[in-house]
Chains A and B, each alone.
Chain A
Amino acid sequence: MHAVRFARSFGLGTLLSALLALVALALPAAAQSEAPLLPDFIALYPAGKLVPGAEAYGPMRDDIPVVPLLKGSETIGYAFMNSDLVGAIGYSSRPIHILAAVSPDAVVLGAAMLQQSEPLLQSGKRATTVKQLVASYAGRDLKPEAVPGGTGKDRPYVSGVSVSVRVIEDSIIRAGLKVAFTLGLGGLEMPARPPGTFATVNPEAEAPATWQALLDAGLLRQLRLTNAQLNQDFAAPGQPPNAAKFPARGAADELFIDLYASDISVPGIAAQLLRGVERTDLFAMVEAGGAAIVVAARGDYSWRGSNYRYDGLFDRIALVQGDKTIRFNSRDQMSIYRLAVPDTPILTEISLLAIPAFAEFDPTQPWRLELLVERRMGAIERTYLTYGVDFALPANFITPAVMTVAQYEQAAERAAVVAMRNSVWQNKSVELAGLAVMLAVLTAAFFFQSYLTRSAGLTFWFRIGYLGTTLAFLGWYSNAQLSIVNLMALASSLQSGFDWETFLMDPMAFILWFSVAAALIFWGRGAYCGWLCPFGAMQELTNRLAKALHIPQWTLPWGLHERLWAVKYIIFLGLFGATLTSLDTAIRYAEVEPFRTAITLKFARAWPYTLYLSVLLFIGLFVERFFCRYLCPLGAALAIPARIRMFDWIKRYRECGSPCQICSNECMVQSIHPTGEINPNECLSCLHCQVQYQSKSVCPVVIKQVKRREKVAQGVHAVEHVIERTHHANHPHAVKVAE
């Protein structure tokens, strides 16, 4: 390949290409076309041809038009079209389409020019040379390019087509960097700064409309150097004595340079200094998170210098901010003929210079544009001075940060928790609907219990059906088994900082606990223990089965029964105490509840657990709800506040307990004292005694009443008869009749 350094060849051709290069600079960085071209081009160009060893392309990403390059199932690189990602407009004003690929380490794996309309590249030796040039990008490491200004590497020179070559270089490097930064290849990544945690430019702030006012407001900063000033500085101590012998060319009071700088990516400033179309071009050139400055000057000294024509780098200016020095490459430059403010002085060199996002330039922080002044002293000797122009955006152009990063992270964490909670609630919609229906039915049953319990049969089958639903739907299907562990977690969270979200994560338990709380106010513990507890339902249903099979039932003597009640409270207090020391230990002890084994894990557990559960269920066959009555710590916890209930729904007669003991004997959990009162701590609200209460065949009171009524009815009849008779007797005619 015939590659001569651009700098060394002179002549008309070079001059022309330099001019063309400037034309290209002035062209807007063409916006990316709407639909990515990548799918069309990769269909035409096999992966193995682009990168030897690659076998196929993977699916295109959503965030950036890039496809993985596959070897088997392994991703060996990422392919992209330069024209999809960055402006790649060539001399023909049409894009030069290059398919390229980078490795996970941000090294170019291969590049191929697939379509171009460059006039001089349609055929011939040049076309071949440029094709080879494109292919030669394989192996180019992009990591060193990820500094503002790039490496300033010499561009190979191909006679006559320098614009095309420049576009090829720039677009491959810039597109490759974009891919590398987006995908985090080779350790390159964008600094992640959440919005609101840092100060930003206020896009609403308006700048004044005249040149002088912009200067006065500090929105435009000036560096003005006369030849006299410069000569004086080059005569300062420390400068070579020779420097004074080579003074600036012009008269002492003439301008050496009059330079102006501003942050042109600030919308308010751009609105004044640029025309509409220039603004559009500028904002097409500035990438998200990047910025741009304007450097404009007149005078004898060129801030652009001439070196950039060879290696792209403007070697007389640098932007300094904090510990960063940002230099500018001509590929990130756009020339402007005249600034839009009416009283602008006539300036000869006006450029908009883009700063890439990865430079981490902060427009809200002060910066300094440094100007290097070179003085030649004869053929070889040089001396240097730097001048600076300091820029700081006025406060009204800055929107301060609204929160710290820590605050943002907290909020983000919160939002994630809420999102997760919402999705959990959505996923549980079937269960929640079922639970809602169950709660509505149970509430109705309690509210209208006197109607329900009129029929012993209806009440019995309603209860069997409800318990069946509780076990199968709430328990086995929804795993909605409340547990003492919930309360232990609550107690623990009260110590360490209560958060609703923790409890909202389990919607079924949350709703159930709320209904338990409500039920405690109205009915006591029975609503949950007697109706909604899946394990309770399991015990009762197995016991029903046992009864149906005529397995003998054992009623504990009252004295023993009353003393065994206390055990569950002791277990509860023990667990509560354990929670205070360690929640983890307490949760282990909470295995005294067989709920996990029976409901959540459906018996699929290590044998000690299943054995324990089986023993409990076995005892339950003979002693109805054995676990609930004597062991259940959750039941104990719910029993303690059971007396806060506001209403006594369970109706009693004066005769209940003295002398009648029927309900007391039939109560499945023996919650009715021999003296007749119902112990609300133990009552499971099964409604059996309420059926009895209305039973004309069981309740002696009802039976007596019925009898009395009958008697009364008979008595009435007799009285009526007597009255009638008397009436007849008293009738004046009656006597006569009688007589």
Chain B
Amino acid sequence: MPALNRRRFLTISAAAGAVGAGAFAGRALQAAPLYRWDGVALGAGASITLAHPDAERIIGRALAEIARLEAVFSLYRKDSALTVLNANGSLANPPFELLECLALCGTIHSASGGLFDPTVQPLWRLYAESFAKGAAPLPEAVAAARALVGWGDVRIGADRIAFARPGMGLTLNGVAQGFIADRVAALLTAEGLTDVLVDTGEMRALGGHPDGGAWPVALDVEGTILPDAVSLREMALASSAPRGTTFDDAGLQGHILNPATGAPSDLPWRLVSVTAPSAALADALSSAFCLMPREAIVATLSAFPSARLVYLG
């Protein structure tokens, strides 16, 4: 994959890990110390914060789950289910997670009037490869790549996922991080945990902070940190910064592409943050909203009463 100009790796930082020892009196009563794992998932910084006497074993299980899901969704792994699907144009007996994730994509695709479209992968690749060579793609090339975009041409079935046309491709980068956060949260719930913050690039809070209260989360708006901007309790938060990652060095060609125009978003949004019961939903919505004016966002949100726009600017 071509190198991208990543101005900021993370758009959000959780204040959770920075909680001082004496900040919460309740901690003294609990046997298990607050445990925070920091690492990488799907190429982005990730962390899991929990309080449990057997934290290391539980984190180990969570990491195995992340590794398993990367083998489904990662575009950076040659053997992932998604890479195989893109390479072959079809995939027999797809993993359940892929089916479930694509079902959500379909829903958001309809709700966003087609602006959220995982089939922009050919366009995305064109931009990435062109800018890696130092130039914007030619209009003819953009038109050709745009012709390969079309959610309706993805045939989804439990026995097989297939593209109707050769050359098509899927990217789930606008939803997979959130999906993985949800799955890790589900695994930790099955382990009996109640107060956990999973951050795989998008955040999913189980319960609240072990010291009491909600998980305080800061937002990063192009380098300006807004501390404690969001309080998360039993809720997910996803943020998208259209120009957080750009194709060009000038930082103008944002990585979120409009399937209708074939160009990066021309809207002024620096950060779009959405909360929802599931991180996958919040992730997909925040990705879609990057391409929408405020009125359209508000209109779309009416179909998702449990989701809220917590930052737009």
Residues of A whose CB lies within 8 Å of any CB of B are 149, 152, 236-241, 305, 307, 311, 313, 315-316, 318, 320, 322-325, 327, 366, 368, 370, 372, 374, 381-386, 388, 390
Contacts and interface: CB of A to CB of B under 8 A. Distances in A.
Nearest to A387: B96
B158 A386 contact: no
Nearest to A321: B64
Give the 10 A-B CB pairs with smallest separation, nearest first.
Answer: A322-B64, A323-B67, A384-B99, A323-B68, A383-B103, A323-B64, A238-B281, A386-B96, A372-B96, A240-B107
Query: Quick one: which of A305, A311, A384 has the most chain B CB within 10 A?
Result: A384
A237 B96 contact: no
B158 A315 contact: yes
A237 B99 contact: no
A238 B104 contact: yes
Interface of B: 61, 64-65, 67-68, 71, 92-93, 95-97, 99-100, 102-104, 106-108, 110, 156-159, 186, 190, 276-278, 280-281, 284, 303-307
A629 to B, nearest CB: 70
A149 B95 CA distance: 13
A238 B284 CA distance: 9
Contacts of A386: 96-97, 100
Contacts of A385: 100, 103
A382 B158 CA distance: 9
A313 B93 contact: yes
Nearest to A368: B190
Contact of A370 (B96, B110, B307): B96
A521 B303 CA distance: 100
A382 B99 CA distance: 9
B281 A240 contact: no
Nearest to B98: A384
Contacts of A318: 95-96
B280 A238 contact: yes
A374 to B, nearest CB: 6
A384 B103 contact: yes
Nearest to B110: A240
Contact of B92 (A152, A322, A323, A388): A152
A384 B94 CA distance: 12
A661 B64 CA distance: 91
Nearest to B277: A237
Given A237-B305, A370-B96, 18 more contacts: A237-B276, A237-B281, A238-B108, A239-B103, A239-B104, A240-B106, A311-B159, A315-B159, A320-B68, A323-B68, A323-B71, A368-B190, A372-B99, A384-B102, A386-B97, A386-B100, A388-B190, A390-B190
B61 A322 contact: yes
Contacts of B95: 318, 325
B306 A237 contact: yes
B274 to A, nearest CB: 12
A158 to B, nearest CB: 22
Nearest to A313: B93
Query: Quick one: which of A307, A313, A320 has the most chain B CB within 10 A?
Result: A320
Given A322-B61, A324-B68, A383 B106 contact: yes
B302 to A, nearest CB: 12
B110 A384 contact: no
Contacts of A311: 92-93, 159
A402 B76 CA distance: 40
A152 B276 CA distance: 38
Contact of B107 (A239, A305, A388): A239
Contacts of A152: 92-93
A393 to B, nearest CB: 15
Nearest to A149: B93
B163 to A, nearest CB: 15
A237 B156 contact: no
A384 B158 contact: yes
Contact of A307 (B99, B107, B159): B159
A323 B65 contact: yes
6 contacts: A149-B93, A305-B158, A320-B68, A323-B68, A372-B96, A372-B158
Contacts of B276: 237
Contacts of B108: 238
Given A327-B93, A383-B103, A237 B307 contact: yes
Given A320-B68, A327-B93, A237 B304 contact: yes
A334 to B, nearest CB: 21
B103 A388 contact: no
Contacts of B96: 318, 370, 372, 384, 386
B106 to A, nearest CB: 6
A643 B110 CA distance: 103
A384 B102 CA distance: 9
Contact of B68 (A239, A241, A322): A322
Nearest to B63: A323
Contacts of A388: 186, 190
A194 B286 CA distance: 50
B73 to A, nearest CB: 13
A306 to B, nearest CB: 10
Query: Quick one: which of A238, A366, A370 has the most chain B CB within 10 A?
Result: A238
Contacts of B305: 237
Contacts of A320: 65, 68
A372 B102 CA distance: 14
Contacts of B307: 237
Contacts of A237: 276-278, 281, 304-307
Contacts of B284: 238
Query: Quick one: which of A318, A327, A383 has the most chain B CB within 10 A?
Result: A383
B5 to A, nearest CB: 32
A366 B67 CA distance: 17
B157 A382 contact: yes
A388 B191 CA distance: 13
Contacts of B103: 239-240, 382-385
Nearest to B278: A238
A374 B158 contact: yes
Nearest to B175: A238
A323 B80 CA distance: 13
B186 A241 contact: no
Contacts of A238: 104, 107-108, 278, 280-281, 284, 304
B158 A316 contact: yes
A208 B93 CA distance: 38
Nearest to A151: B92
B38 to A, nearest CB: 19
B71 A241 contact: no
Nearest to B94: A315
A384 B281 CA distance: 15
Contacts of A384: 96, 99-100, 102-103, 158
B263 to A, nearest CB: 28
A237 B157 CA distance: 21
Contacts of A315: 93, 158-159
Contacts of A323: 64-65, 67-68, 71
A307 B160 CA distance: 11
Nearest to B159: A307
A678 to B, nearest CB: 73
A293 B306 CA distance: 39
Given A239-B103, A323-B71, A307 B158 contact: yes
Nearest to B102: A384
B159 to A, nearest CB: 5
Contacts of B100: 384-386
A241 B102 CA distance: 15
A382 B93 CA distance: 15
Nearest to B72: A325
A382 B103 CA distance: 8
B203 to A, nearest CB: 17
Given A237-B278, A239-B107, A240-B110, A325 B68 contact: yes
Query: Quick one: which of B95, B96, B159, B303 has the most chain A CB within 10 A?
Result: B96
A237 B308 CA distance: 12
Nearest to A307: B159
A324 B95 CA distance: 12
A382 B106 CA distance: 10
